[in-house]
Amino acid sequence: MCLNEGTVRKLDRAKRTAVIETSDGKEVTLKFPEDLIIEVAEEETMGMQGGSFEDLQEGYLVEFEHAELEEGSGECRSLTCIS
């Protein structure tokens, strides 16, 4: 498993994929399984709440854990929106 931080650059809702630019400037394409739980910042309470792939937006700063499948791509295991 790899843990990274980066910015969501492109979303493909039909394919359930996202291109994320990591903090070191590399781009990673992640596939999001149907059962993935995404945590999203809750502005009113300053805490986190459960979300879904549909809650992601381009430009979000995220922390993510993924299993690398091949160079530059992988399957997302967990994702937390931190911005």
Q: Report the CATH number that the domain containing residue 55 is assigned in CATH.
A: 2.40.50.140
Number of domains the chain contains:
1
Torsion of CA 52, 53, 56, 61, to 10 degrees: 90
Cα 38 from chain centroid (whole Å): 8
* Structural domain for 49, as ranges: 2-81
pTM of the model: 0.79
Q: What is the mean pLDDT of each run of 10 residues along the chain (83 residues)?
A: 86 94 90 83 69 87 78 78 75
CA distance 49 to 23: 24
pLDDT at 18: 94
